[in-house]
């Protein structure tokens, strides 16, 4: 789901939902999931609907490395995303112009620390476990899809090490 309108539509239809943290931050996703689940219930569907979250994840041996190593690539990616939202607001074939403009404005002024707080799961293995467990519980997630190299600029050996740490030290602690 990528716009305000799609959340209640998908909920009313009874479909699972896949949400990313590129155009939205965690508080925005939380608010939109409430609308999704309300539409789900009002349509008479059982349960609450499966929610899957795509989130940038970077795991390093130390918090300092997890902060520094992906920073340049991540910031470039979000700056590029802000420019894309600004450029496509009002373009033929796009919807929700005002929402795109709002996203562009927010992302144009976002700091790396803002991203870490509301859109990324970067840190040591323990930090990432805590962040993802919190998101699982607070958002009622059925699953998480990781995005291991935001912006594509993190050197491959570092990405592979991050994914290895995620697979060995983080993922086993996220299973029920």
pLDDT tens-digit profile of 66-107?
Answer: 999 999 999 998 888 767 766 665 544 445 566 666 766 666
- The architecture that CATH gives domain 6-174 is Alpha-Beta Barrel (3.20)
Q: Quick one: pLDDT at residue 56? A: 97
In this structure, are residues 174 and 136 in contact, taking their beta carbons and an 8 Å threshold? yes
Residue whose structure tokens are 């894309």: 84
**Within 13 A of 172's CA, how many CA atoms are on the CB side?**
6
- Sign of CA pseudo-dihedral 134, 169, 77, 88: negative
The residues spanned by each domain of the chain are 6-174
Q: Quick one: pLDDT at residue 24? A: 82
Percent of the chain residues past pLDDT 70, beyond the cut: 85
3-state SS class at 54: strand
pTM recorded for the entire structure: 0.86
Residue 23 pLDDT exceeds 80: no
Work out the average pLDDT over 102-130: 88
3-state SS class at 120: coil
């Amino acid at each position: 789901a990528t716009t305000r309108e799609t959340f209640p539509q998908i909920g009313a239809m009874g479909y699972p939902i896949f949400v990313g943290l590129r155009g939205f931050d965690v508080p925005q996703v939380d608010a939109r999931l409430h609308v999704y689940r309300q539409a789900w219930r009002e349509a008479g569907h059982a349960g609450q609907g499966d929610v899957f979250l795509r989130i940038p994840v970077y795991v390093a041996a130390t918090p300092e490395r997890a902060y520094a190593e992906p920073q340049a690539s991540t910031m470039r990616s979000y700056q590029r995303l802000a420019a894309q939202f600004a450029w496509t607001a009002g373009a033929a074939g796009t919807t929700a112009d005002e929402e795109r403009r709002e996203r562009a404005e927010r992302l144009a002024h976002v700091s790396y620390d803002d991203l870490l707080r509301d859109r990324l799961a970067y840190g040591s293995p323990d930090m990432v476990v805590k962040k993802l467990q919190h998101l699982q519980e607070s958002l009622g997630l059925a699953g998480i899809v990781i995005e291991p190299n935001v912006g594509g600029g993190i050197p491959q050996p570092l990405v592979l090490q991050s994914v290895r740490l995620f697979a060995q030290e983080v993922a086993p602690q996220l299973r029920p």
